[in-house]
Structure 1
């Protein structure tokens, strides 16, 4: 099983399902109410895809979106973040993919995608 995870700043109700609906089939995700965890599912290239949206991550301004499946619409978190940024027009963050559990937190950098472009930043 593979997974992708991105963080969406100030996500709006219905925005994630509108964006994902253009990339997957049979989307079942009710993200109109963002007061708690939102679980959903879809299909991508005929394979099941699990979707989890966790509003209130990282100081409540961000929602964590996790996609899990054997086949995913994007190859990397950054590819997913780029697609989300183009569609949602809000700041998106994701892991650069080289951080490992146990690495010092002060060295942890993230990709930040926003109107200023793409940049590696320390999350603070």
Structure 2
């Protein structure tokens, strides 16, 4: 199973749903959990995609979107972030792909996509 993870600043849930519906079949929200966590699913080429949205994942401004499945609409977090930025027009962040759980985070760089373009930056 593959997963993609991006962070969306000032998430507009309606815009997120519209963007995902353009890439996934049979998009649906299956549950709303504690603290506003959204769970849903969709499909691509007959394969199920699980969707999780964690509001306020980083501070109060960034929501985390995780897509999991055997087949996903994008190959990498950065591909997903580019697509999200194009549609949502709000700052999107994602890992450059070389970070692994347990690695030190003090100098960790993230892709930041916004009206200034794409840049590798320290989160804060």
Compute the TM-score of the two structures, normalised by the length of structure 1.
0.93
* 2: CA distance, partners of 1:103 / 1:56: 23
| Counterpart for residue 65 of structure 2 | 65
Shift of 1:72: 0.4
* 2: CA distance, partners of 1:23 / 1:11: 18
* 2: CA distance, partners of 1:101 / 1:17: 29
* 2: CA distance, partners of 1:63 / 1:23: 20
Which 4+ residue blocks in structure 1 deviate beyond 2 angstroms?
Answer: none
| Counterpart for residue 54 of structure 1 | 54
Within 5 A, what are the aligned runs for 1:13-28? 13-28=13-28
1:85-123 C-alpha deviation (Å, 9 max, x unpaired) = 000000000000001223221121100000000000001
Larger strand percent: 2
| Counterpart for residue 82 of structure 1 | 82
* 2: CA distance, partners of 1:93 / 1:106: 17
Structure 2: 5+ residue runs without aligned partners? none
SS across alignment from 2:97: coil
SS across alignment from 1:14: helix
* 1: CA distance, partners of 2:86 / 2:48: 25
1:1-25 C-alpha deviation (Å, 9 max, x unpaired) = 1000000000013111100000110
Structure 1: 5+ residue runs without aligned partners? none
Say how many residue pairs are matched: 121
Report the RMSD for the aligned CA atoms in angstroms: 1.5
Shift of 1:57: 1.0
* 2: CA distance, partners of 1:83 / 1:56: 21
